Chain A
């Protein structure tokens, strides 16, 4: 019983993010100061001294060149044994690809076979990708957001200069150009997203184009103007809503025993805009997530806030 208890105590402290020290008070009262020990003898063992490292750097360079050359030679040997480029009988063109191509339109309703593949047969893969993008933007937000602990006088000065520059009419070519181009770029991005199941493109490419349009607008009109309609809250809300919609669209079949409750999502006529089941809404979700992510990266890397 006592073992059990200690396990739960350990688990609790692990979840709370503490170090796993059960009798913490006792430990603190009896422990030795660590920094003293480091100063005396541990430093020499922990890191090799700088002179030794410098002597090793030549060896490191020679070794890394050698390893890379060995790698290239071995891989070129593998390439020699690969199936011929463009060979129809190659082993990569197996029954999986044939199934996607022959039954794809019947089963997904998408004219673009790749869209049908990534958003229907392999939709969970794409869900993971969208989550990776969202997590990347959240991680960059954590690292680069200008908050209490991430400020410096030099940067504040630069930011103030940028704001003065944004207020002036000094970038008239960029501003006039962006006035014409940004709506067209964003409109084209929306077109690419909406036609993802009909033509080349889809959520990822269209989302990047929308993000590029947002970046153009932000670069021309200043960060302040962008913040009137796009802040961290907007980004979080749009991304989370899109990811949850995606999750709901694709996980309903789990809850209904994977038999779709005897109701197939209407596929429509292949070739229509409103066709191919869930692929259009999923493309829109992915496109919004990607657009927010792209603009978020730009804003965080330039200004430190969205």
Chain B
């Protein structure tokens, strides 16, 4: 249990990921679904940023001319978070564009309604 309290950033990010996943599964509104997806992304960034931090070290930008791996935090998670942000922005924009087209066609964002209308269209 004390491990969880020390690793509270990671624990929080896991819980946040779960909240986002639950949103993705249970929301009926399509835009809220994608908000859930974005919460999951954010949880991943929090996890990566927490894994890169080291106590007492500074951001990886050359300061006072010191070149020493013991002086800076790990730069790799920063690059990975960057990749994650870019992909998340692209995926969100693409999915929201799809949602907009769905809304224009069916006039609702409720997924059950859309499914019902699709079924009716196919039935006729």
Contacts and interface: CB of A to CB of B under 8 A. Distances in A.
Contacts of A102: 67-69
A270 B62 contact: yes
Interface stretch (A78-86, A156-164, A170-178, A216-224): A78-86
B101 A144 contact: yes
A219 to B, nearest CB: 18
A132 B90 contact: yes
Given A85-B6, A113-B62, A117-B75, A152 B67 contact: no
Given A111-B62, A129-B82, A200-B61, A86 B53 contact: yes
B93 A72 contact: no
A112 B119 CA distance: 56
A79 B11 contact: yes
A64 B18 CA distance: 11
Contact of A113 (B7, B54, B72): B72
Contacts of A111: 61-62
A76 B60 contact: no
Interface string A79-101: 11110111110101100111011
A248 B53 CA distance: 35
A252 interface: no
Q: How many B residues are at the interface, by size bracket?
A: 35 or more
Interface residues of A, number: 62
Interface in B81-118: 82-83, 85-87, 89-91, 93-94, 96-98, 100-101, 104, 116
Interface string B35-64: 000000000000000111111010111100
A133 B89 contact: yes
Contacts of B26: 61, 64-65
A22 interface: no
A166 B96 CA distance: 26
Contacts of A67: 25
A75 B3 CA distance: 13
A122 B86 contact: no
A65 B69 contact: no
B119 A47 contact: yes
B3 A80 contact: yes
A246 interface: no
Given A86-B55, A100-B75, A300-B97, A79 B4 contact: yes
A239 B3 CA distance: 48
Nearest to A290: B86
A64 B36 CA distance: 14
Nearest to A57: B112
Interface stretch (A23-31, A135-143, A230-238, A260-268): A135-143
B34 interface: no
Contacts of B119: 47, 50
Interface of B: 3-4, 6-11, 14-15, 17-18, 21-22, 25-26, 50-55, 57, 59-62, 67-72, 74-79, 82-83, 85-87, 89-91, 93-94, 96-98, 100-101, 104, 116, 119, 122-123
16 contacts: A47-B119, A47-B122, A71-B18, A71-B21, A75-B18, A79-B14, A82-B7, A86-B55, A88-B57, A90-B51, A111-B62, A122-B79, A129-B82, A140-B97, A150-B104, A297-B93
